[in-house]
A and B are shown apart, each in its own frame.
Chain A
Amino acid sequence: MMAHDCARAEITAGAVALGEATDAERDAYRRHLSVCRRCLECLGGERDVERTMQLVARARDAESWQPEVRVALRDRALAKQRGWRFGLAAVATIAVVSIGVRAWSPSVVNPAQPVAFTDRAPAGAPVPKVHRPASGHDLVVLHNVATLKRPPLTSVVPAHAALHPVEVRAAAPVPSSVAKSPPSAVVAEAGPSQRDERSVAALRTEGTAPPPPQRAESIAVLPPAAPNHDVVPLGGEDAIVPHPSAIAYYENAEGTTAFEVTVDERGLPVKCGVTKSSGYLVLDAAVCKAAMHARYVPRTVNGRAVASVYRDAFTFAAGSDDR
């Protein structure tokens, strides 16, 4: 009953503050305060309430800001119109320039496109040897293969796979939980005969070929199966875009690089470590470089940002021109 009276007194104090309390309500409020010390200290008497509200009234009367929304509204509308015109002009310019570049400069090849490296030149154009894989494969980067919804094989296996010896193997880093679904756990690898073994050996990191079973076991606890959601890259997972060097394409480098980035409380990467190598230094280095260039949203504990570790994995697989 007392609690109900206290709640009622709180409402009445609000009414007193707003000048809406009737005489009966004021009497009831006084009676309650005379028997409830807690409400007296917490809410204060009528004079306290009115004195506090005078502060708000004084602040209101002292307000002298005279904003001109009409002018700002007009400027905003004009900026919007200008923005549309500028945007359309920019899009048209970019389209014209890109068509021109493709038509007149077929030898310009960008080896570092973010998702699918389709650096194929128009038919009949001279092809730079260094960017052109001997096997006719391009390099496809599959981000975080363990979380892919559709099987990567459908987009990775070359169309001429049946004509050439192609070795299909389970990707070493795929965790056991993911390995239960075979389509998402396999990548296609070009046959050994299509490789320059000497340069491949130079690219390979030590002790990663073939991957030992115990290594695969240790990978099973890595975060690709349970991504670290505490800390995420600013702009989403796609914010990290590795750009391997041209030699990776030339050598048809493939494999999965699992990595972890230590992120400080400001969201800045401090250190990147490769927890599972793809077998190629160029791929591992490209992943870590991209991860260190990204910015992150740090993990928060009780509303405070704390340092944490972001873990993820990239799978590089050879694509094909025949796709």
Chain B
Amino acid sequence: MDEVYLENDRTGVAQMRVDAMVREYQTKLARYLRRMVGDAEVALDLSQDVFLAAYRILKAEPERELTAGWLYRAATNGAISFMRRRKIVRMLPLDRDVDREQWRIDERSAASVDLQAALRRLPPEQSAAVLLTSYAGYSSQEAAAILGTTSDAIRQRVCRAMRMLRTVMTERAKIS
């Protein structure tokens, strides 16, 4: 695989580093992006974009340090850009059965469905704050560094997102 998409790399340093990043973060990043954009196919595409961007940077500057925070920041920016574009053009997955199948796995958990329903109503900044902290496991300080804000702002966004989550849960309870 590496010989194909990294064949022009002269030193191989970038190739090895990106390969290690892909192995370690592909699942976490793709899950994070799927929660952000609500679409598995798009999440895969955005994940690839992030890793390709990392590869281009490392190819130009092999000594540069790219942390997981950088990956999440790039992923968040890509997701927010995608959601802005989605307001104009709505994209449908080519293979909708596959997408539905992937979601059906999570639908076994009511909490997962509730979370996704709440995230759909949240502004991207609040979604990112909740997912980076409660989902990806970062502290408010680390999430603040990733999103370029303060830890108090992250806590505030989490609190507001939590209110929406509770509202969704209450509505569903009324329906059921």
Contacts and interface: CB of A to CB of B under 8 A. Distances in A.
A19 B135 CA distance: 13
Nearest to A66: B27
A2 interface: no
B108 interface: yes
B106 interface: yes
Majority secondary structure of chain A interface residues (helix, strand, loop or mixed):
helix
A286 B136 CA distance: 59
Contacts of B14: none
Given A67-B27, A74-B4, A11 B48 contact: no
Interface in A57-77: 57-60, 62-74, 76-77
A150 B52 CA distance: 44
A65 B1 contact: no
Contact of B111 (A10, A59, A69, A77): A59
Contacts of A77: 4-5
Contacts of B47: 67, 69, 72
Contact of A53 (B48, B134, B154): B134
Contact of B30 (A11, A48, A65): A65
A62 B111 contact: yes
B30 A13 contact: no
Interface residues of B, number: 47
Given A18-B133, A48-B166, A56-B165, A11 B155 contact: yes
Contact of A69 (B48, B152, B156): B48
A73 B111 contact: no
Nearest to B105: A64
A34 interface: no
B101 to A, nearest CB: 10
A69 B22 contact: yes
Interface of A: 7, 10-15, 17-18, 20, 42-44, 48-49, 52-53, 55-60, 62-74, 76-78, 81
Interface of B: 1, 4-5, 22-23, 26-27, 29-31, 34, 40, 43-44, 47-48, 51-52, 102, 105-106, 108-109, 111-112, 114-116, 130, 133-135, 139-140, 152, 154-160, 162-163, 165-166, 169
